[in-house]
Amino acid sequence: MSDRIYIYDTTLRDGAQTAGVDFSSPDKKAIARALDAFGIDYIEGGWPGANPTDDQFFADPPTLKNSTFTAFGMTKKTGRSTANDPGLSAVLNSTAKAFCIVGKTWDFHVDVALGITNEENLENIRETMAAAREKGETLFDAEHFFDGYKANRDYALQCLKSAHEGGARWIVLCDTNGGTMPYEIEEIVRDVTSVVPGECLGIHTHDDTGNAVANSIAAVRAGCRMVQGTLNGLGERCGNANLITLIPNLALKMGFDVGIPHERLAKLRQLSRSLDEILNRAPATHAPYVGDRAFAHKGGLHASAILKNPVCYEHVTPETVGNQRKILVSDQAGRSNMIARLNELDIRVDPKDPLVQKLVDVVKIHEADGYAYDGAEASFEVLARRTLGQVPVYFKVERFSVTDERRYNARGELTTESEASVKVRLGDQVVHTVAEGNGPVHAIDVAMRKALEPVYPALRDMHLVDYRVRILKPQDASAAMPRVLIESASTRDPDKHWFTIGVSTNIIDASFDALRDSYMYKLLRNNVAKA
């Protein structure tokens, strides 16, 4: 049996069934590009003919280097030939290179949902797979297979046989309702291998019992050589098997070749994040392998041990999946955590220095206010160095104001403009600047730079890459607290990005704090002397 496991992504089809998820055609393209760059074997683009978004996506498909572009469809209708079934034709005549055809394998569904005989269903499966085979690679998605097997084993197996005889390259066993347990999956898949060889078997699971990943692993152990799933476990109800968890499990724990070289596996976290970005969702901090907490160590004793030997507390090296070890500065943080964190940033302190305790207290207060420094290292470093007296007072903002004006311009078009004015103390001079921007944060940024750049030219090559707002405690609108995260970069060193944070009930205030930290961090990094 081969040690190669093929990975099939259905984020764009099954994942799109998630409540609140509605991918546009450009979203689909962006996700397909990310999957392809990572090296996923199959990307299921959707169901051509089923809705306008999928039609648009298949009419102008993404250019893929590594992945096989796959269309989803259904077996032909009874009483029609495969050539004369408009639904099937839309799928088979699409731009896809492979075709995943879903069909019934549970006799109860054949009777109740399709209202046809068991024989007719077998014929539909066989003929559809034979027609699909003429057009490209084929997969048969055996819907409700495990429930069908339990209800009528022989018929469920006959359906698979028909698909196999029809020429399906892959027979994918679906736990459509998601209720099957891992030990059942392993036993049933073993039995299936007596009819269809494991090299031709795939598994498609849902997480309704919290076992989607475990069920996929059980199927692989029993012989399946394809796993289907979605990015971050997206999918209706409790979601599909999470490929972001499944892939490292197969590659790192079980030693399978998943067609993804190790250096690319290190982009796993990035792949997971790219979907969150498109959905504008906060990444799951506790996600296995890729979450912020996956390799975070909190307890004081624990944190000191991890520095001596990470193997004591980590099941894999965080870098293999693109993650990082984190020594958390938290409300439980002791001095040893703080010192470890400072050492990571190359900040040298005397452990007995009372300023270390002061820093622990300051961080505690900020975190209670909603600051999250593990996503904003640069703000943490600025705060730490400032508290420890290791950063000069580069500038002091005495006041700033910003106004927004929405009006019709001379051409009768609606425009909104922002104007900011800032008063900054630089050494013994006070500079006052005014600037316009396309929004309040942009206007403040331009005004601040006008004031700072003549004195600190090092700021000229930095720019803002991203600006994100999350509302904390959204369940209580009156107490809602915007948290602003700013990503900055330098044109001189494009690989180096830094993140700063601000939290306030006033969004402009929060943005200003994040901006100020970003300038300070740049000056610190460039070892600029105080003006």
What residue ranges bind Zn ion (CB under 5 A)?
14
- Give the E-state strand segments of 200-342 in sequence order: 201-205, 226-229, 296-297, 326-327
Minimum Å distance from CB 16 to Zn ion?
11
- What is the number of alpha carbons within 13 Å of residue 165 lying toward its C-beta? 13
Minimum Å distance from CB 165 to Zn ion?
25
Query: Which of 14, 36 has the CB closer to Zn ion?
Result: 14
Q: At what angle do helices 153-166 and 118-133 cross, to 10 degrees?
A: 30
Query: Which of 102, 340 has the CB closer to Zn ion?
Result: 102
CA distance 435 to 448: 9
Query: Within 283-330, where are the H helices?
Result: 300-308
Query: Which of 203, 451 has the CB closer to Zn ion?
Result: 203
Query: Which of 212, 441 has the CB closer to Zn ion?
Result: 212
Task: List b or e across 155-180, with b for residues whose CB sees 16 or more CB atoms inside 10 angstroms.
Answer: bbbbbbbbbbebebbbbbbbbbebeb
Query: Which of 26, 179 has the CB closer to Zn ion?
Result: 179
Minimum Å distance from CB 337 to Zn ion?
43
Minimum Å distance from CB 9 to Zn ion?
12
Minimum Å distance from CB 72 to Zn ion?
10
Query: Which of 51, 317 has the CB closer to Zn ion?
Result: 51
**To 5 degrees, how large is the angle CA 376–CA 502–CA 406?**
130
- Residue 79, judged by CB atoms within 10 A of its CB (0-12, 13-18, 19+), counts as exposed
Minimum Å distance from CB 13 to Zn ion?
9
Closest CA to 507 of 530, 523, 484: 484
Minimum Å distance from CB 35 to Zn ion?
17
What is the C-alpha end-to-end distance of the chain, expressed in Å?
69
Minimum Å distance from CB 142 to Zn ion?
11
Query: Which of 14, 107 has the CB closer to Zn ion?
Result: 14
Minimum Å distance from CB 25 to Zn ion?
22
Residue nearest to Zn ion (CB): 14
CA distance 177 to 123: 25
Which residue bears the tokens 């590659």?
Answer: 251
Q: Which residues contact 81 (CB under 8 A, 6 or more apart)?
A: 127
CA distance 150 to 145: 9
Query: Which of 54, 513 has the CB closer to Zn ion?
Result: 54
Minimum Å distance from CB 106 to Zn ion?
15
Cβ–Cβ < 8 Å for 265, 251: yes
CA distance 361 to 69: 54
Minimum Å distance from CB 50 to Zn ion?
15
Query: Which of 14, 41 has the CB closer to Zn ion?
Result: 14
- Residue 77, judged by CB atoms within 10 A of its CB (0-12, 13-18, 19+), counts as middle
Minimum Å distance from CB 204 to Zn ion?
6
Give the single-character DSSP code of 395. Answer: -
Query: Which of 14, 374 has the CB closer to Zn ion?
Result: 14
Query: Which of 100, 339 has the CB closer to Zn ion?
Result: 100
CA distance 249 to 441: 43
Query: Measuring CA to CA, how many Å separate 502 from each of 17, 369, 403?
Result: 35, 10, 20
Closest CA to 235 of 191, 205, 270: 205
Query: Which of 14, 292 has the CB closer to Zn ion?
Result: 14
